[in-house]
Structure 1
Amino acid sequence: MGFMNDRLGQFMPTGINGTNMQILHVDTANALATTLLPSHMQSLICFVLEGTLEVNMLGIPVFTINMHSQFAVRAGQTCHVRNLGGIRASLYVISVSVALQ
């Protein structure tokens, strides 16, 4: 298993056998900006490491989530997050490849 440090807000995956672990820093510079969490053929489990985020997924009411909380994104589902606080928000994202049928 690898470790990565992302200082620029980019996905830097590392992992084993279809499972990736990533740290995503969500921008604070623009309060209206959202960040897409690309799920494609993967289910995502997201843990908020710091900050407060607004989560917007198609078909689910928008919700707010804080540090030490988690949420999941089904494979193929569109998900955007937006930083609501004045401090950096960070997500630890675990993606697991799935076979869509």
Structure 2
Amino acid sequence: MAGRLTEKDVRDIATYARIGLDDQEVAQMTVDLNNIIATLEPITHYELDGVEPTFHPIGGLHNVMREDVVEESFTQEQALANAPKQQDGSFLIPAILGGGDQ
């Protein structure tokens, strides 16, 4: 199993994950992560060469996507038929960042 994590390792992980930790939190997180790693360490002793997986969440499915077939679509008029507001053949929506009058 990998060696123990240092406080520098935890700081690097926190920086990568964009998690702000103070010195006390880094110290506690270092202890916690090392305890988790120690708890999982026994699974590294199992001999798993040649053992086939026994479960897969989607079973024997290989391709769950339908064929990509071109089909008739809405016309622009049909798409805009129930739009509360439209302008120049497009949906007109309220501005959310300011600067617009709608």
TM-score, normalised with respect to structure 1? 0.18
TM-score normalised to structure 2 length: 0.18
Structure number with higher helix proportion: 2
Compare the two structures and name the one with the higher strand fraction.
1
Higher relative contact order (CA 8 A, sep 6+): 1
Larger Rg: 2
